[in-house]
Amino acid sequence: MTGVLLLTLQALLYFGVMAALLRARIAYGVGLFVCALGVMHFLETYLAAVFFIELPFGLLSPGSTVLFSGKLMMFLLLYIREDAETVRQPIYGLMVGNLLLAALALLLRQHEHLAPLPGYQADMRFIDQIGVLMIWGTVLLFVDIIALILVYERLLRAFRRHALPALMASSALVLTFDQIAFFPVLHWLTGTPLGALTGGWAAKMGAAALYSLLIAGYLALIEPTARPSPSRRRIWDVFDALTYRTRYEDLLARSAVDKLTGAGARSAFEDWRQQRMERTSVDPRAVSVLMADVDHFKAANDRHGHQAGDEILIRVARALMDGVREGDRVYRYGGEEFVILCEGLDDAGALRLAERLRTAVAAAFATDPDRRVTISVGVATSTPGAGDIGPTLRAADDRLYAAKRAGRDRAVGAG
């Protein structure tokens, strides 16, 4: 019982200090938090290799149970409060530092003679072991963090934005994977007995529960203001951000976004059409095209001025982007006209989505007594597996004008 109490006190001390440093980023930047994580990396690996205690459920190392599990959870907290681009910086820093450590140790081995010191002799074999474990541990950390963020985001939706169960389940899954992946290398290098595999796993499950409770408390009490929900972001964009793929794609992304509204630019839509036609194999799912036009926009623009007209377009685009499903794409097609691309819907499903978007736009202006803004929508769905969606686009355009002729503020689909 004393061992469990000590581990709990260590975890509370670790989390308390790291949470304080994370909170301090608001005034001093994130550097304090990142440096503290990096400084403890060697001690964490050293303890995971040689320092074990025995509890009724098996052998475990505080380095692995308290420090590594805690570091992984603190990275998740940093992601929740900031973003994936911030999280990747210390991960890559740790990786480069550990590779440098291994390279320096290799050079140290080239010294033929070491000066004898009374009562002490450098243990180069231990340095080799630590170097390998630090590199392998950082590789696992990188994989663990990506997996933890992805699983957390998925479970957060499944648990309807309740953080605690999502934290517990995602951390338990990822720490189980980490224990299974780290132990064979540890056993190979140091001969650590098999009891450390099961004992370490049990301890990490306890750490997952404790740190999840602490993080949930931090999010509820210390930084309760939620960051923008990532639910509209494709889940694999997290991987792109963590691996710096976003740097490569940044220029393309800038040119693909309409500067006024934040929706996709028409050029991006045309690029998508061209790429679809040039593919040797086409996605077999149907593609629904929703063409939306702001009703009486020219009159509102003339009456209230161009600045007010721009604000209308911005709010309409935001309502459309917030209202579509994950994976759907919204483009500003021209002037006050928008195109929404949706895959995997039939005619009826696409029409229901169009009605939902029409209602969402009207609701976005419901509190503005001076402006009643509505949209008309034309809806068409392609034949499954069709490469060129030109006919579908023309059909949606025809139905858009049918909606306008019928009185506007409505969606018209097939039939």
Interval 57-76: pLDDT, tens: 888 999 889 999 999 999 99
- How far apart CA 243 and CA 230 sit, in angstroms, is 18
Element (H, E) at 333: strand 329-334
DSSP state of 234: -
The per-residue pLDDT for range 150-180, each reduced to its tens digit, is 899 889 888 877 889 999 999 999 999 999 9
The half-sphere exposure of 304 on its side-chain side, counting CA atoms within 13 A, is 16
Question: Among positive and negative, which fits the CA dihedral 93, 96, 98, 104?
Answer: negative
Backbone angles phi, psi at 341, to 5 degrees: -105, 130
Q: How far apart are the first and last CA of the chain?
A: 72
Question: Among positive and negative, which fits the CA dihedral 217, 222, 226, 227?
Answer: negative
pLDDT confidence of residue 230: 41
Around Cβ 394, how many Cβ atoms within 10 Å? 13
Q: Predicted confidence band at 231 (pLDDT cuts at 50, 70, 90)?
A: very low
3-state secondary structure of 402: helix
pLDDT confidence of residue 383: 81
DSSP state of 120: B
pLDDT confidence of residue 187: 87
3-state secondary structure of 409: coil
Question: In the predicted model, is pLDDT for residue 226 greater than 50?
Answer: no
Backbone angles phi, psi at 9, to 5 degrees: -65, -40
Are residues 232 and 321 in contact, defined by beta-carbon separation less than 8 angstroms? yes
Are residues 175 and 208 in contact, defined by beta-carbon separation less than 8 angstroms? yes
Of the candidates 125, 131, 65, the one whose C-alpha atom is nearest the C-alpha of residue 98 is 131
Extents of the domains making up the chain: 2-108+122-238, 256-412
Around Cβ 191, how many Cβ atoms within 10 Å? 7
CATH superfamily label, 256-412: Reverse transcriptase/Diguanylate cyclase domain (3.30.70.270)
Question: In the predicted model, is pLDDT for residue 298 greater than 80?
Answer: yes
Residues 6+ apart with CB under 8 A from 75: 87, 90, 91, 141, 145, 148
pLDDT confidence of residue 236: 55
State how far Cα 352 lies from the chain centre. Answer: 29
- How far apart CA 356 and CA 350 sit, in angstroms, is 10
Residues 6+ apart with CB under 8 A from 188: none
- How far apart CA 270 and CA 166 sit, in angstroms, is 39
3-state secondary structure of 249: helix
Range 224-246 average pLDDT: 52
Beta strand segments in 276-402, E:
287-294, 329-334, 337-343, 375-381
Are residues 323 and 360 in contact, defined by beta-carbon separation less than 8 angstroms? yes
Distance of CA 329 to CAs 34, 258, 321, 323, 332, Å? Answer: 36, 13, 8, 11, 10
Say what percent of the chain tops pLDDT 90: 39
- How far apart CA 237 and CA 150 sit, in angstroms, is 10
Return the axis-axis angle of helices 297-304 and 306-323, rounded to nearest 10°: 140
Residues 6+ apart with CB under 8 A from 96: none
The per-residue pLDDT for range 329-360, each reduced to its tens digit, is 999 998 899 999 998 888 899 999 999 999 99
Of the candidates 146, 161, 19, the one whose C-alpha atom is nearest the C-alpha of residue 77 is 19
Around Cβ 349, how many Cβ atoms within 10 Å? 16
pLDDT confidence of residue 229: 41
pLDDT confidence of residue 338: 96
Are residues 140 and 178 in contact, defined by beta-carbon separation less than 8 angstroms? yes
